[in-house]
């Protein structure tokens, strides 16, 4: 559709995801399938479609949304199925950076920590979201949770020609959370 409407695909920002902390022993197979299907399978096939279009056009840039939870477990938010799916996204970035380089297609990912997005309202009561998120300010050395604009800037950079020599990178965009872990 993008090829038809815009004449080609130059950039893909792949941002599909779900999040719902749950202890490992409480997961059922449907939980795993939901996380793996949405986060990993969805991104895998979206990248495949975009890469085909980019190859025909002579190259492009792909930016995946991964997660800090795929780099570091967080006790306050047990998220094994979510983390496993995002670790797959991170590994896909590394593998495809090598595989797609000859076609001048770059692929990178950002790995955000806690960012204020509507996803928290999917498992926290609406009247409690603000106070729950405020409890995570201290988790980030910069003293606050992220805002969408914090992640957007990193994605725009990775998609831009200023990042033409960057591929296969997982960039923590986390207010310093990974620095102390």
Percent of all residues in the chain with a pLDDT value above 90, rounded to a whole number: 72
Q: What confidence score (pLDDT) does residue 59 get?
A: 98
For residue 77, the model assigns a pLDDT of: 86
What span, in angstroms and rounded, lies between the C-alpha atoms of 116 and 123?
14
The pLDDT tens digits of the residues spanning 40-70 come to 999 999 999 999 999 999 999 999 999 999 9
Query: What CA–CA distance (Å, rounded) separates 61 from 159?
Result: 5
Report the phi/psi class of residue 168: left, alpha or beta, with left for phi > 0 and alpha for psi in -120 to 50: left
Q: What is the mean pLDDT of residues 148-172?
A: 97
Per the model's pLDDT, the better-predicted residue between 181 and 151 turns out to be 151
Give the per-residue pLDDT at 181. Answer: 63
Average pLDDT, the chain: 92
* Catalytic residue chosen out of the listed positions 50, 66, 67, 82: 82
Nearest to 34 by CA among 74, 73, 84: 84
Q: Model confidence over 17-31: pLDDT tens digits?
A: 888 889 999 999 999
Q: Residue 120 catalytic?
A: no
Question: H or E element: which one contains 13?
Answer: strand 11-14
Closest CA to 65 of 34, 102, 39: 39
* Domains detected in the chain: 10-175 (3.40.50.720)
Rounded to an integer, the average pLDDT of 137-164 is 94
Statement: residue 3 has pLDDT above 80: no
């Amino acid at each position: 559709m993008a090829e038809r409407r815009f004449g080609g695909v130059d950039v893909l920002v792949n941002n599909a995801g779900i999040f719902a902390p749950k202890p490992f022993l409480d997961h059922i197979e449907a939980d795993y399938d939901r996380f793996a299907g949405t986060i990993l399978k969805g991104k895998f096939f979206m990248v495949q479609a975009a890469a085909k279009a980019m190859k025909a056009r002579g190259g492009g840039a792909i930016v995946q949304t991964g997660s800090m939870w795929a780099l570091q477990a967080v006790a306050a938010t047990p998220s094994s199925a979510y983390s496993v799916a995002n670790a797959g996204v991170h590994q896909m970035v590394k593998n495809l950076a090598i595989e797609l380089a000859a076609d001048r297609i770059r692929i990178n990912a950002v790995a955000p920590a806690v960012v204020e997005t509507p996803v928290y309202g999917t498992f926290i009561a609406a009247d409690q979201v603000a106070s729950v998120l405020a409890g995570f300010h201290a988790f980030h050395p910069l003293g606050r949770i992220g805002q969408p604009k914090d992640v957007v800037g990193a994605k725009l950079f990775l998609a831009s020609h200023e990042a033409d020599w960057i591929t296969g990178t997982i960039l923590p965009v986390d207010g310093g959370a990974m620095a102390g872990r």
